[in-house]
Amino acid sequence: MADRLEGVLVVLGAGVMGTAIAVTAAGHGRRVVLVDVDPAARDRARGRMDLHLRHAGLLGAFPDGVAPAAVEVVEEFDPADAVAVVEAVTERADLKAKVIAEVSAALPPGVPLISNTSSIPIDELADAALRPEDLVGTHFMNPAYLIRQVEVVRGPRTGDAAMAAVAALLADMGRHAVVVRDSPGFVTSRLLHPMINDAARIVEEGVAATDDVDALMQGCLGHRTGPLRTADLIGLDNLVDALLVLHERTGDDRARPCDLLLRKVRDGDLGRKSGRGFYDYEEALS
């Protein structure tokens, strides 16, 4: 990919993760097109990107001397312009497979198609791809513009050229790729999500309050933010979707979403993005 600096990174899905990935790339000077069919999602993404850029700037997350590139937020994109496409739609296998099928049929051969997923096996999604060798998995952590390591998933049918192209793209974005084998939940979600579910279950059972669970995990076990505050950052709906994937594909009963998580999702208390989850963020959104 000698011409990789000339191409446009296309990000499909203007939700929390898609927007954060777009900001990360733009902050390193990469031209980005952020695509979503929902006008309301596009409007929210524009406001969210402004907040992310200010936050990243205050924390010195972007390289000195590099002006952040503009992010074009659109309904459709031209596949001929893409150096790579990141699929960052909702964590549901059927939706991701539909998008992958449509996009892979339109992309030129050799353009990496990157599925950003926290739990769904890449080889499962590769069944929908016209060229499975071009499909690579990533799991960016939120906020993507602050967390420099990215879990990269090589599926059984992923080709060497796609892996090299994605590694070069991530390096250009200031990210460090950690490559893992394909599996439900990979490494991070396989470890983290059942632990968050256990923490929610402890609150549900009345053993301890939300902030006490997080305080103990931070102060005694060194968890940076606490599991329940982390859940709010992930998005409780995304967390439940990922837990369901893990439970269905591994049979691990620790991954069966507890009633408290399910109830919060039903009530629309999804975490930071909705203003309320395990904690209240209404003031931060106002």
Place 233 in a pLDDT band, splitting at 50, 70 and 90. very high
Per-domain residue ranges for the chain? 4-181, 188-277
Distance CA 166, CA 110 (A): 11
pLDDT of residue 286: 45
Average confidence (pLDDT) over 105-132: 97
Helix (H) or strand (E) holding 17: helix 16-27
- Yes or no: say if 126 and 120 are a contact pair by the CB < 8 Å rule: no
Q: What is the predicted pLDDT for the residue at 81?
A: 87
Q: Looking at residue 283, what is its pLDDT?
A: 62
Which CATH class for the 188-277 domain? mainly alpha
Tens digits of per-residue pLDDT, 143-160? 999 999 999 999 999 999
How is residue 257 written in tokens? 């979403």
Q: How far apart are CA 180 and CA 183, in angstroms?
A: 9
pLDDT at 285 over 60: no
Q: What pLDDT, on a 0 to 100 scale, did the predictor assign at position 1?
A: 35
Strands (E), 117-254: 135-139, 149-154, 176-181
In whole numbers, what is the pLDDT of the chain averaged over residues?
94
Model confidence pLDDT, tens digit, residues 37-52: 999 999 999 999 998 9
Q: Which two tokens stand for residue 174?
A: 């200031």
CB 128 within 8 A of CB 104: yes
- DSSP code per residue over 218-272: HHHH--SS-HHHHHHHH-HHHHHHHHHHHHHHH--GGGSPPHHHHHHHHTT--BG
Per the rule left: phi > 0, alpha: psi between -120 and 50, beta: everything else, 235 is left
Nearest one of 133, 132, 131, 139 to 115, comparing CA atoms: 139
From the number of C-beta atoms within 10 Å of its C-beta (0-12, 13-18, 19+), residue 258 rates as buried
Q: Which CATH architecture has domain 4-181?
A: 3-Layer(aba) Sandwich (3.40)
Q: What is the pLDDT of residue 186?
A: 97
**Amino acid code (one letter) for 92:** R
Note if 247 is an active site residue.
no
Percentage of the chain beyond pLDDT 70 is: 97
Q: What is the share, in percent, of the chain residues with pLDDT greater than 90?
A: 90
- 4-181 and 188-277 in the same fold: no
Residue with more model confidence, 238 or 5:
238
Distance CA 193, CA 201 (A): 12
The two counts, helices (H) then strands (E), for the chain are 11, 8
Q: What is the pLDDT of residues 64-73, one digit of tens each?
A: 999 999 899 9
Q: Please identify which of the residues 139, 193, 223, 247 carries the catalytic annotation.
A: 139
pLDDT band at 244 (very low <50, low <70, confident <90, very high): very high
Confidence of residue 7 (pLDDT cuts 50, 70, 90): confident
pLDDT tens digits along 195-227: 999 999 999 999 999 999 999 999 999 999 999
